[in-house]
Structure 1
Amino acid sequence: MTQGEPPPPSHRSRPTMREVAALAGVAIKTVSRVVNGVPTVDPVIVARVREAADQLGYRPNLTASSLRRGDGRTATIGMLVEDAANPFSAALTRTVENVARERGVLVLIGSLDEDPARERELARALVDRRVDGLVIVPAGRDHSYLISEQRSGTCVVFVDREAGLLDADAVVSDNRRGAITATDHLLKNGHRRIAYLGDSASIPTAAQRFDGYRHALELAHIPFDDEIVRHTGASEEAAIAATEQILSLPDPPTALFTSQNLVTIGAVRALRALGLQNTVAHMGFDDFPLADILTPGISVIAQDIEQMGRTAAEMLFSRLDGDQSPTRTVTVPTRLIERGSGEITAGEPRHD
């Protein structure tokens, strides 16, 4: 390094507010007011300070600023989802992020992989980083570990599933009613042997959808047959294997109800590989990309993910703004989307 040359970026200290003030020719307090958006600062001074900050590459220390604020807020929230790569989780996260962005709040995201221990670990890690609140799609059923955090002022809202052993707001889909609608739709198209493939039965949403499936069969006076039921977990590969196995039975089903989007995708792949996509009717729970451009299109029970995410974010920010009303659970309706696969009638192949 030659004389007068600045040190490499990795060894340089970050520019300080004092350096910005010196370059702009103003007091440190003036720089602070500009950084914090105080509206009474002369616009000419604001422009000069910002120009100096840009020239130096100065960025305010938001963590330090939050410590100086009277409310202790950090303008961050944490969001924990099943899997950030899953279409449902991705859409939910994006909606919460959009609401947070409107308020100048950053969202820190983690994936739980249906692991309660990982949920506790990541939730505590986010709380340790002083997030103002948490939006959680829970993996576990015991959330009492968050009681002390609630008492310390951390607001928590649950999405997709309600909290266990914790008094907290929640936003959920009407899973049972959606599953009843899906099964009824297949029944109305003449099917009497309807297979069920879903996520692990230990997951509350999966249990609610399975209950809806069984209830619809019971109302139609159709005996429940465990032989055509599979709780595969959220895995395309497992769903492919389960679909192939069920359809190879001596008395195979004429219709499938797949109650999770990755399970639905696996079933679609299996049906197409077997050449049965126009013969076996298929209803899925949760929409997914490209479902409408397949032949036939995949009929689904769609969750209103945008409404769920926006409602959860607004509930969280309402709590952060001081809402002390009793906690509540908001149930968001689902809707049936007919695209072709769910409208294949029993014994009549469909060709679109």
Structure 2
Amino acid sequence: MTTTLTQSGSDGERPARSTMKDVAQLAGVSVKTVSRVVNGEPGASAVVRERVLRAAERLDYRHNLGASTLRRKDARSGIVGALLQDVGNSFSAGLLRALEDTLRPSGLSVLAASLDEEPERERDIVSDLVARRADGLVLMPASHRHEYLLSERRAGLPLVFVDRRPHGVDCDSVTIDNHLGADLATAHLIAGGHRRIAMLSDLHEIETAQERIAGYRAALDKAHLRFDPELLVHSVRSEDEAARVIAGLLGTADPPTAFVTGRNIITIGAVRALRAADVSRTVALVGFDDFPLADLIEPALTVIRQDVRRIGTEVGRILLDRLAGDSSPPQHVVLEPTLVRRGSGEIPPPA
């Protein structure tokens, strides 16, 4: 019943995957009946269904979902694409887990990819997922304009932007108030007596980075503190770069007494630099984004926390509603971050 294929360059043979025809022959039913059973369609009795499933198990049959999707125009692939900046980052990893936990009970799997701030890579992966008939897309875009998604939006493909808002196409989105978060961080340091507060930020072209810089400057303005452009460093992209920037600022004639870091990777670099300079207990630090073990650092890290689990859950909820037929206007959910005091942000300036 099972055919064999000879591997090129090998004297051995390996069994090919079992087919519906193999299952039908073993179960004593038609191929159409097997198709009904594996696709969960009505039309087969409980006895016949059990016989087919036993035959499929005995033959190690694996249903080709992609082929079924091509044959049935109304079928879903069961896949949601999640295009994030870096799936290795703790923020993205936490978001993916929450998204998966929300979608999995409905039979949906998440296929994730990293964009690395590359707009062309974003378009290529979106095109690939659309060609594979993904049921929906979650997008943390690298591109700044998103008109290229208009045709998919018109076709009814559920699109949910996360962390960054859509521009040029009106889609659902889940973001946090980045301006508020940076304002909270800076104001907290000001309330602790600091006047020389530096900020390290991500690429200036990124919308979230712009909002966090604006929040930092707003807090300075409210406290009537002069903005010093030498204390704002943007386009910091790695831990090593962050550490070099921190070391350079600490070596100036009038060094900052506190730092706000605009991303968890930058924060990790800052922690290492402060420790290397032996000032981790005398220079204050507030990081944007929480991450694992941040509470075990000495001193424990004060952070602006995004509720990553809630973000992922909200994205999943919206997707499920759209897949269930919700055609209401796009939702733009904005969540508030919170200040978590642990010690590093409560260090006072030198007397």
TM range (shorter): over 0.9
Partner SS for 1:195: strand
Output one character per residue of 1:205-249: Cα deviation in whole Å (capped at 9) or x when no partner.
011011000000000000000111111333111101110011111
Query: In the aligned structure 2, how far is the partner of 1:247 from the partner of 1:46?
Result: 72
Label 1:299 to 1:76 Cα distance change in 2 as closer, same or farther (>3 A): same
Q: Which residue of 2 aligns with 1:169?
A: 172
Structure 2 residue 56 is the aligned partner of structure 1 residue 60 = no
Tell me, yes or no, if the aligned pair for 1:135 and 1:313 is still in contact at 8 Å: no
Q: What's the offset of the Cα at 1:44?
A: 4.2
Q: 1:283 aligns with which of 273, 283, 286?
A: 286
Structure 2 residue 320 is the aligned partner of structure 1 residue 321 = no
Partner SS for 2:293: coil
Query: In the aligned structure 2, how far is the partner of 1:270 from the partner of 1:127?
Result: 44
- What does 1:1-352 correspond to in 2, within 5 Å? 7=5, 12-38=15-41, 41-347=44-350
Residue 150 of structure 1 aligns to which amino acid in structure 2? R
Query: In the aligned structure 1, how far is the partner of 2:43 from the partner of 2:282?
Result: 71
Label 1:338 to 1:134 Cα distance change in 2 as closer, same or farther (>3 A): same
Q: What's the offset of the Cα at 1:347?
A: 1.6
Residue 196 of structure 2 aligns to which amino acid in structure 1? R
Query: In the aligned structure 2, how far is the partner of 1:124 from the partner of 1:167?
Result: 19
Output one character per residue of 1:183-221: Cα deviation in whole Å (capped at 9) or x when no partner.
111111111111101111111001101100000000000
Aligned length: 345
- 5+ residue gaps, structure 1, are none
Return 151-160 or 42-51, whichever deviates more: 42-51
Residue 60 of structure 2 aligns to which amino acid in structure 1? G
Output one character per residue of 1:97-155: Cα deviation in whole Å (capped at 9) or x when no partner.
22221111122211110111111111111111111211000111111111112222222
Query: In the aligned structure 1, how far is the partner of 2:237 from the partner of 2:138?
Result: 21
Poorly superposed stretches of 4+, deviation over 6 Å: none
Query: In the aligned structure 2, how far is the partner of 1:232 from the partner of 1:7?
Result: 54
Label 1:130 to 1:6 Cα distance change in 2 as closer, same or farther (>3 A): closer
Q: What's the offset of the Cα at 1:69?
A: 3.2
Residue 140 of structure 2 aligns to which amino acid in structure 1? V
Tell me, yes or no, if the aligned pair for 1:232 and 1:242 is still in contact at 8 Å: no
Q: What's the offset of the Cα at 1:310?
A: 1.1
Query: In the aligned structure 2, how far is the partner of 1:277 from the partner of 1:169?
Result: 42
Q: What's the offset of the Cα at 1:7?
A: 4.5
Output one character per residue of 1:242-271: Cα deviation in whole Å (capped at 9) or x when no partner.
100111110001100001000000000100
Paired-residue identity, %: 49
Output one character per residue of 1:1-58: Cα deviation in whole Å (capped at 9) or x when no partner.
xxx9954688644311121121122333332232123577544443332221122121
TM-score (norm 2): 0.93
Tell me, yes or no, if the aligned pair for 2:3 and 2:15 is still in contact at 8 Å: no
- 5+ residue gaps, structure 2, are 8-12
Partner SS for 1:78: strand
TM-score (norm 1): 0.93
Partner SS for 2:92: helix
Partner SS for 2:88: coil
Partner SS for 1:330: strand
Tell me, yes or no, if the aligned pair for 1:234 and 1:260 is still in contact at 8 Å: no
Label 1:8 to 1:54 Cα distance change in 2 as closer, same or farther (>3 A): farther
Residue 323 of structure 2 aligns to which amino acid in structure 1? L
Q: RMSD of the TM alignment (CA)?
A: 1.9
Partner SS for 1:249: coil
Residue 252 of structure 2 aligns to which amino acid in structure 1? L
Query: In the aligned structure 1, how far is the partner of 2:144 from the partner of 2:188?
Result: 32
Q: What's the offset of the Cα at 1:173?
A: 0.8
Q: Which residue of 1 aligns with 2:10?
A: none
Partner SS for 1:346: coil
